[in-house]
Chains A and B, each alone.
Chain A
Amino acid sequence: MILRRAVLRGLLHRPLLLLFAVLGVALGVGVVVAIDLANASAERAFRLSARALSGEATHRIVGGPDGVDESLYVRLRLQEGIRASAPVIEGVAAAARAPGLTLRILGVDPFAEGPFRTYVPTAGGEGNIAQLLTEPGAALVLQETAARLGVRIGDTAALEVGGRLRDVRIVGTLDAGDEIAARALENLIVVDLSTAQELLGMSGRLSRIDLIVPEGRAGEEMLGRIALILSPEAALTLADPRGDVLAHMTRAFQLNLTALSLLALVVGMFLIYNTLSFSVLQRRELLGSLRTLGVTRREIFALVLGEALLIGAAGTALGLLVGMALGSGLIHLVSRTIHDLYFVLTVRTFAVEPWSLVKGIALGIGASLAAAFVPAREAAMSSPRTVLTRSAAEGRRHALLPLTAGFGAALLLAGGALLLLSGRSIPVAFGALFAQIAGYALIVPAAAVLLLRLIQPVSGALFGLLGRMAPRSIVASLSRTGVATAALVVAVSAVIGVGIMIGSFRATLISWLESYLRADLYVAVAGDSRERAPLDPLVLERLSALPGVELVTRARHLTLESEEGPTDLFVADMPPEGFAGYTFTHGDADAIRRRIIETPAVIVSEPFAWHRRLAPGDTVRLRTDLGERDFTVAGVFTDFSSDRGRVVMSGPVYESFWRDRQVDALGIYLDPARDADAAAEEARRLTGDVQQLDIYSNRGLREASMATFERTFAITAVLRTLAIVIAFVGILNALLAMQAERGRELAVLRANGLTPRQLWGLVMGETGLIGVLSGLLAVPLGVLQALVLIHIINRRSFGWTLQTAFDPALIAQAVGLAVIAALLAGIYPAWRMARTSPAQALREE
């Protein structure tokens, strides 16, 4: 009973500190939960949509660049009697009258769909089978989608498909059956195969053939029979009904977000540690009395842990709310990034995944208890007598300093070793990074003492007595200042580290774009940049004839489906002008160029080489129209256009292995005298009646690329901002604790003639000093984090090499942040102490 009361009293004694501790946990847990929920929602969305699109299919037959010949399907049905097969055509369309609404066209044969996809057109759906089959452009969508398109059943909707405006008529609605299925179908427009072929210009072709293959010997026999009749460009692959391939593509991205969110929780842990350490120190007399009264160590230990549990529980509860609120905001950033970088995805529904909340609770409570362990042990280990003296505590801290620092250094080194030895593992890299952060944090108190001793004479010379007092009192009250400083350092270093990483990425990207983009104009069919529609030959003809055009290069973007997932293939003319844009990790560019034009060789981007573990001289296997072929890797080039990487092939090589002769992008080189913007304008005018095109000037494309970059890093920037907020709370918490503890000391000073003004000076001096100290100590750790993030985490996650760009302003900013927060934290205690009469303060003590 008395223990329980002691717990409550101890916690309630300093409401502000308690509040900050709870807030720290809440923010930490909140950020982790928010990221987890956002990730989970995005993943759920794409898994649902993968499932909706694959249905019950277990396998699929995929083809070359232009899909599968439809006669293969007929053969499966007629000759092989394989009835668990369904022809599918997929494509993408933009709603012409609803900007930003991208629809996935799903062309199917209703009669073959039976066992595959389970959404059912509504009964009484106005006879839509007959209409679907016989009426060109007849389509089905969800009721909600119709509303977003601004049409009703029976109305016509205009779609932009492959750069051309096409009308579809909504003849009925899809019935999703339930809420979850509805989410997966909300961007789907279902049409008959005939309409799909006509809309997408795929006469005679299918995107794929879905199959349901039974398990066991019957299934193997069936796969064997199918394999025998496949044409060389076709392949049998596993369907991806659970979206595993998609999930894998975004895994590194999501892992990075999770790790950054955990950093926020680490800072939150420091807040708890700090608060509890303080409360233990504060109540050293009470604890001593309790011990003399016969309370056991175990009970004291439990008491402090109990407090941590209360703070942790309150913070976690609050954190879950924060997380849900934050998560529903972040989901847009996460899904937009996935949409920009990986695949067409719209997440409109934020689902609160119970598992995310469970993880949040476990982390919040676990982190609180872990943070409380040291203070609790400290409280429990003390004998009744020493608990009563504060100097004993301080003394032991001081004595422990070298030991702690030594342990920290060991941890730092171990983390470093782990980083170097952990091969390609991303989670281990993050674990090592956290170990380094913890190790560094342990060194901080010792480093602080060292620095303060160095500062002392300087500040003494500058500010006299008070100037000498401030550093000395910080050193004297190391039990609090040490932790406060460490918390600050960790928080500020995260701000620095993530900041440098984003800055380096941006700088790298800018310089890469400058060297990579060589043409003056870039032309592609308008619409989603991942669903490249072919350019009308008329476009090429007209643009080649544009005045002032010196050279037109043609390019084709393809995605080759295979068992290991999709491979992006970029085919382009390789004139020396354009080829100069590639920077190779090693090898002579001219020799490489000759090889990929004259021999069946390709170049691969750094991420591709990383993921597939390729080096120049290795081969990469691609499924061509002639069957699978090995292509020699002639070089590895720097590339930031895709994190799953791509293979680049010259036009001549492509044309000897593939029949496809379509072009989906052009690079136009102009006479230097010609103004690019004017030429772009003229190009638009010349092609407007043929196809809707995106025509970018070199600068325009660079800007558009940078805009995408900024969008994709928006979430990282948000996380960094959250780290700043938590750091700020941490600083306030630590310094409030320290100053609150010093009430008596200050009162004594006041009684001895320290004026309120001098007291202000002393308090602000101390907190400001801690701010400066933390800011400075945060710099090396921040840089270390940045280096690990840039050269190890990014490399392992995405395979690319970034240049490191240190922005001094960024570092100054972070140190400034620490100082300002520290000074702000000093205001309240200084104001309070200055206002209180010394006598009262002493009496209160």
Chain B
Amino acid sequence: MSQTFQEIIATTAVCLVALGPSAAVAEQIVVATTGGAYEKALREAWFDPFTAKTGIEVVTVAATNAEMRAKAAAMVKTGNVSWDLYLQGEIQAASEQHLLYAENLSAFCKEFSTHVDLDADACNAAGVRLLSNSTLLAYRSDAFAAAAPRTWADAWDVQKFPGGRSFPDFNDPWRVMAAALLADGVSPEKLFPLDIERALAKLEQIRPAVALWWKTGDQSMQGFRNGEYVVGQIWLTRAKALKSEGLPIAWSHAASFLVGDRIALIKNAPHRENALKLAEYWLNTPAAQAKVCEALSCKPPSGEAVKLMSPEARADMPSTTDPQSSPVIPDAKWINDNAALLLERWNAWIQQ
């Protein structure tokens, strides 16, 4: 009898010991990401080393950027917040609306303002810069024997560079209009405010050559693979992925727009302190940034991280130093102020 009792005690003790550490790991952070290769890179270089160091578990939820925005807004409005951090595009992060749902991080950013290694705006009220990237002109290098397309004007020149074209149609039309204006001879300094009428008139010229208005990154890649088009405006990460597959794909930094992602802290986040620790870890760990951008060919916010990257990865990433090929930096304020108008005019034009 006493034997059995002892057994029970022993088993209970073992169970308690087993539960102990898992109860400690119950400390966690919920991060919404866009999933896929992006999340995989973040997890390997950032989340897992962070968990190893602090014991705080990072749980991820996958959603598209638009879904994230809508869901974050709904969570804050209903007071039922289950996320801590979420990804936000640089442009949307610069909007006034963003700070209705994301916590102002100005106080948190103070400690980083003296970091000369980081981009000046790597940490601001809207959030922490994750990486910078670009949307640019990519093409099949096997389609053009002599000269390759370099500028947006070349992308419009179907005589000199024959073949199908592709442009994005994912509810964020400024980059297509901006490309049209640059092709029409507008100088990059005078690009914003965008002349919507002129842009749409220029787009009308290329419309017959457009084989696909892509909606998702996968779609933009598929058309290059099966030869539906030979010139397209796509994300650099996707162009790089095609090249890694062994496809003859090249791109031109001379026809590119700088975009990027921030990581924002949702208002009333359930694990606010831990989430800030994760953000701090990102900014203070150039090795993690370098590893992510090595995989995604992006530009990390830290100069130290850039140095840690391989020369090939550095050559692929959007440059901000070479004036001949530096990307156009969009006027986020103007785009945000005119977002509804841009989309309405775009919808009216695209469905004609």
Do A and B assemble together? no
